[in-house]
Amino acid sequence: MKDINTETKILEAARTVFISKGMDGARMQEIADEAGINKALLHYYYRSKDQLFRAVFQSVFAGFFQAIKGELDKETPIEQKAETIVMQYTNMLDANPFVPQFLINEINRNPQTLRDVMDSQQFNPSVFLEIFGNNNKSGIDPRQFIVSIIGMMVFPYAARNLVQLIYFNDNIEAYTQFLQERKEFLKQTILKMIQ
C-alpha cells in the first residue's frame, strides 16, 4: 500500500470500506483514512461517492464471477466438477467472506446497477447453466441445482455471526473447523443430489 499510485490505493480502500459497510453505511472520511490520504483527493479522482461506488461494484462483480467460473467449462466427469466447484468457491469465500452479501445487498438497493454492469462487461450468464446442464443423467433442473449449491456455500459466510453465536457459542475456532469440515460435507451432498 505504499508505492502504488493513488488511484489504485483509493480503489482498494473504497473496496474494503464499501464491502464492510455498504453504500449507505460507508463514509468518505473512512475511505480516505483507510487509503492514508485526504478526503478531497477522493473527489479529485472520482467525482462523487456514487461514482467511486460504481467503480468498486464493477470491480468486485467482475472478480467474483471470474473466480467461480474458473475451470468449469472443461470436459470433466460430474464428480470431478463437484469437487472443483466446492473448492474454488470456498477458497474464494475464505478470501472474501463478505463479497456475496455485499453484491446481494447492493443489487437489492439498486437493481439497475447490475444491469449496467452486465451490459458494459458483456457478461453472459448462460455459462453457469451449461455447467451441469450437459452431462446430467438425473433429470435434475440445473437452475434449482445451482441455486441450491450457491445457497449452501454462501449462507454460513453471510450469516456467520448469527450461526456462530447460535450454534457455537461464539467459539471462533469451532466455527472455523465447521467451515473446514463443510467442504467434504458439501461434496458428498452434491453427489447425493445428482444420484
User: For a copy of itself, which stretch binds (CB under 8 A), given 34-42, 71-79, 81-89, 106-114?
Assistant: 106-114
* Euclidean distance between the first and the last CA atom of the chain, given in angstroms as a whole number: 49
Task: Output Rg (C-alpha) for the chain, integer angstroms.
Answer: 19
Which burial class, exposed, middle or buried, applies to 75 when counting CB atoms under 10 A from its CB (0-12, 13-18, 19+)? exposed
Query: Is 84 near DNA (CB under 7 A)?
Result: no
Q: Which three cell numbers stand for residue 59?
A: 470491480
Instruction: Round to whole Å and give the CA distance between 147 and 130.
Output: 14
Q: Which residue has the cell 488511484?
A: 7
154 binds, among DNA, a copy of itself, none (CB under 5 to 8 A by kind): a copy of itself
28 binds, among DNA, a copy of itself, none (CB under 5 to 8 A by kind): DNA
> Quick one: which of 16, 41, 65, 152 contacts DNA (CB under 7 A)?
41
**Smallest distance from the beta carbon of 43 to a copy of itself, in angstroms?**
21
> Quick one: which of 161, 171, 176, 180 contacts a copy of itself (CB under 8 A)?
161
Q: Which residues in 2-61 contact a copy of itself (CB under 8 A)?
A: 21-22, 24-25
Instruction: Round to whole Å and give the CA distance between 117 and 165.
Output: 36
Query: Is 172 near a copy of itself (CB under 8 A)?
Result: no
Counting DSSP H helices and E strands in the chain, the numbers are 11, 0
User: For a copy of itself, which stretch binds (CB under 8 A), given 7-15, 49-57, 76-84, 122-130?
Assistant: 122-130
Instruction: Round to whole Å and give the CA distance between 154 and 170.
Output: 19
User: For DNA, which stretch binds (CB under 7 A), given 37-45, 59-67, 137-145, 181-189?
Assistant: 37-45
Q: Which residues in 151-170 contact DNA (CB under 7 A)?
A: none
Q: Which is nearer to DNA, 31 or 93 (CB)?
A: 31
Nearest to 29 by CA among 52, 54, 5, 60: 52
Cβ atoms of 27 and 13 closer than 8 Å: no
112 binds, among a copy of itself, DNA, none (CB under 5 to 8 A by kind): none
Which residues of the chain form contacts with DNA (CB under 7 A)? 6, 26-29, 37-41, 43-44, 47-50
